[in-house]
Amino acid sequence: MALEIAGVAMDKLVSIEASEAARFVRHAVPGLAGELAQDLGRPSVRIRVRGVFYGGDAGDRLKQLRDHLLARQPVDFLCELTGDGYFSQVLVDQLDVAERAGYPDEYDYECVVTEYVPPPPPPAGGLLDGLDAGILDEATALMDDVQNALAQVAGLTSLLAGASDFANPTTRLPAMLDGFTGIAGGSAASLGGIGDLL
């Protein structure tokens, strides 16, 4: 069975295990027999590989795998599992190594890789491109209306400042009499002239 992780041939394999699952959230609905299951997709496929590296290049191949683990970057993955060959990218999640006494240049390893799913592309436009530009105009007009209403209220308060003595006629009576006398003072001569005519 051919298996390569980032170009490192894993040719002395003991076992390969693939783990796939579905992700559901279950909701209890009153009056419903059972639960309502909502599909939330699936987690990434995980593959666990056990094998042996031995020979003069065993340490180098092990170091390559460890470098990919430390880099935390997606790497190429080629595997024939259950007769189907597929090629994708994976992340090296875990690497366990054991060396036995008396067996130089021989390493037992267990490597776990996880399917890499690239992030979705960013949106084509800016974040505010979908907003209606008329909303800003409406908000500006609303603020203008609020300011105009406040100005009208301020005008009403100046009118109402003199309203405290409105019900008391004695406070305005002297001013009214002064105004009347000023007007009536010039009319005496007019009345005398009319009397002469008659």
Indicate whether 172 belongs to any domain: yes
Q: What is the pLDDT of residue 82?
A: 46
Q: How far lies 24's CA from each of 35, 65, 81, in Å?
A: 11, 34, 26
Two tokens, residue 89: 């990218």
Q: Is residue 75 part of a domain?
A: yes
- Together in a domain, 145 and 187: yes
When pLDDT is cut at 50, 70 and 90, the band that residue 17 belongs to is confident
Domain total of the chain: 2
Mean pLDDT for the stretch of residues 82-90: 65
Above 80 in pLDDT, residue 169? no
Asked if the structure places residue 155 within a domain, the reply is yes
Least confident of 25-39, 128-142, 155-169: 155-169
Higher model confidence: residue 75 or residue 174? 75
Domain assignment present for 129: no
Supply the range of the domain harboring residue 158. 134-197
Report d(CA 175, CA 126) in Å as an integer.
69
132 has pLDDT over 60 = yes
**Structural domain contains residue 29:** no
Rg (CA), the chain: 47
Residue 63 lies in a domain: yes
Q: Examine the pLDDT at 32 and tell me if it is beyond 80.
A: yes
Q: What is the pLDDT of residue 181?
A: 66
Residue 100 lies inside a defined structural domain of this protein: yes
Residues 70 and 105 occupy one common structural domain: yes
Beta bridge partners of 78: 4, 87
Last residue within a domain, chosen from 59, 83, 115: 115
Cβ-Cβ contacts under 8 Å for 50 (sequence gap 6 or more) = 13, 14, 15, 16, 108, 109, 110, 111
Whole-prediction pTM: 0.56
Average pLDDT value for residue range 51-71? 88
Mean pLDDT (whole number) for 56-76: 89
Neighbours of 184 (CB within 10 A): 10
Listed residues 63, 88, 115: the one ending a domain: 115
On the question of pLDDT at 129 being above 70, the answer is: no
Residues 138 and 109 in one domain: no
Of 81, 115, 149, the residue that ends a domain is 115
Segment 68-90 mean pLDDT: 77
Q: Name the burial class of residue 92, with classes exposed (0-12), middle (13-18) and buried (19+) by CB atoms within 10 angstroms of its CB.
A: buried
111 vs 171: which has the higher pLDDT: 111
d(CA 41, CA 49): 25
Q: Please state the rounded mean pLDDT for residues 53-73.
A: 88
CA dist., res. 58 & res. 104, Å (int): 10
24-28, 56-60, 150-154: the lowest-pLDDT one: 150-154
User: How many C-alpha atoms does 174 have within 13 Å on its Cβ side?
Assistant: 1
Asked, for residue 30, whether it belongs to a domain, the answer is: no
Same domain, 17 and 97: yes
Q: Is 103 found in the same domain as 64? A: yes
